[in-house]
Amino acid sequence: MLRPLCQNLYLSTLKNRQSLVALQRSLHSTNRMSDKTYEDPATIQFLEDVHKIMVDDALVKGTSREAPVVEFRHPEDLKKLLQLPVKNEPATSAEILEDCKRVIKYSVKTGSVQFYNQLYAGIEPYSLAGSWITDALNTNIHTFEVAPVFVLLEQYCVQKICSLIGYENGDGVFGSGGSFCNLMATHLARYKRYPQMKTEGMYNQPILDLYTSDQAHYSLLKAGGYLGFGTDNIIRIKTDDGGRMLIDDLEVKVEESKKKGHIPFFVMGSCGTTVMGAYDTLNEIADSCSKHNMWFHIDAAWGGGVLLSSKYRHLMDGVERADSVAWNLHKMVGANIQCSGIFVKEKGLLEKTNRAYAEYLFQPDKFYDVSYDIGDKTVQCGRKADVLKLWLLWKGKGDSGLSERIEKAFDNSQYLTSKLRETSGFKLVIPEFQCTNICFWYIPPSLRGQEETPEWWAKVAKVSPIIKQRMIEEGSMMIGFCPLSMKGHVNFFRIIVVNPACEYSDMDKVLTEIERLGKDL
């Protein structure tokens, strides 16, 4: 009797154990991704859950006027909240969803109308759709073979942008931001002037001097170090009170270079400087470049959007005379980050400068037209297809819609400038601004009506950092501040108006919020 009883007990235990293993496998399949991935319903459910979190938390709540623009935590505290450590065993899908929620919760909501901190703001739905599709397809845009649609989209958008610039037979390529595109411009200019340097290097070659304004983006300094020109040979040109390059000083600096035996080689003009939003006088720079045989590049990373507006396009009069233009479409135009390009007057120069004849990618005997293999236009091999974010946005808005976006930003900024000018306690850094950057000081009641001595300015310098700290700690608003030492300006607020969701009432709130946070200083 004992043996049958034991056998039955064993079989029962084995059956229960098998059921337990089956249950564990089922739970594992439900909570973690299977190797079959998109054939697995759990995977689809996970992505649907992530999508809902993104829409609810990042987009709907994140762009609400009532929600904080940031829930700030100091780095060490944030590390703990994010639960950073990766363990040996995989996390469950439920745990990953909680991670997604935390990432969104503690990130800055750049789509908020209270976000004025950087040269981008707002989240355009068409462009966001482009981001999602691009990541879902996960391809590299170097050959027609692996990215047929994206290659055609990039070529179309490049030609449309070249037409806006005024290049009849231009060319271009998308790249990883404005700094990269400015660096690429110096690379192109060097090859055009001294093609032998591509193979022989810069040994025993003349010293090349590059010029840009003292308000221009720092990326040219990085290019000087990266490409071997030397940062000492990046020559800064003086600017007027509004931040525009002084052509007389450019001429002086060029002659100084010649006297030293250097070659005046490259000038970078700015259309929308980072701080003051200044537009250099392009025709005057073009005249100087023609006179001295220098490459003329325009950094329009920020301010290039005016090319889409008949009302403000005049700010870039002469753009067609430049040899190259860098433009960040993720800034004023509103495409999702990143979406940048360099556009060149001379077709074919990009390939000549960058071609490396990689046989495993660019075979000449492919079965299709290999002129659509565009990878040799750039120094990048792996390159994300950023163009879909722009193309869907442009199609969804049309030329007219993008023009309206640009003009609304200017309208809001001009309204805010007027309010600052007429409101007690606010002082503009300059009387008028060319772009939608607005720079100003807030003078708390305790400092009003006093002589503007160095000691007084030293106190004013402390105001904007304190107000900024209070803003961030409350999450009520984000506005940048900075000094401008070369102009003798202590810390001031720099607000960037570019989000198309902003209205006059939001501009009014900027003043009331700063006053609320700073009146006790």
Please indicate, yes or no, if residue 24 is contained in any of the structural domains: no
What are 225-249's pLDDT values in tens digits? 888 899 999 999 999 999 999 999 9
Percent of the chain exceeding pLDDT 70 equals 92
Instruction: Name residue 184's amino acid.
Output: M
Please give the C-alpha separations between residue 325 and each of 95, 287, 319, in angstroms, as whole numbers.
Answer: 46, 17, 8
Domain count, the chain: 1
Using the predicted structure, report yes or no on whether residue 35 has a pLDDT greater than 70: no
Please indicate, yes or no, if residue 147 is contained in any of the structural domains: yes
Query: What is the CATH classification number for the domain harbouring 285?
Result: 3.40.640.10
Please indicate, yes or no, if residue 449 is contained in any of the structural domains: no
What are 86-117's pLDDT values in tens digits? 999 999 999 999 999 999 999 999 999 999 99
Secondary-structure breakdown of the chain: helix, strand, coil percentages, each rounded to the nearest 5 = 50, 15, 35
What are 241-288's pLDDT values in tens digits? 999 999 999 999 999 999 999 999 999 999 999 999 999 999 999 999
Tokens 């003043």 found at: 511
Predicted model pTM? 0.90
Domain around 362: 128-397
- 121: tokens are 């703001």
What are 287-329's pLDDT values in tens digits? 999 999 999 999 999 999 999 999 999 999 999 999 999 999 9
Please indicate, yes or no, if residue 23 is contained in any of the structural domains: no
d(CA 413, CA 399) in angstroms, rounded, equals 22
Please indicate, yes or no, if residue 96 is contained in any of the structural domains: no
Please indicate, yes or no, if residue 120 is contained in any of the structural domains: no
Residue 58 per-residue DSSP state: I
d(CA 423, CA 425) in angstroms, rounded, equals 6
How many C-beta atoms lie closer than 10 Å to residue 274's C-beta? 22
What are 360-374's pLDDT values in tens digits? 676 787 777 778 877
pLDDT of residue 154: 96
Sheet strands side by side (includes 489-496): 115-116, 478-484, 489-496, 437-442, 426-428
Sheet strands side by side (includes 208-213): 171-175, 340-344, 324-328, 295-299, 263-270, 208-213, 234-237
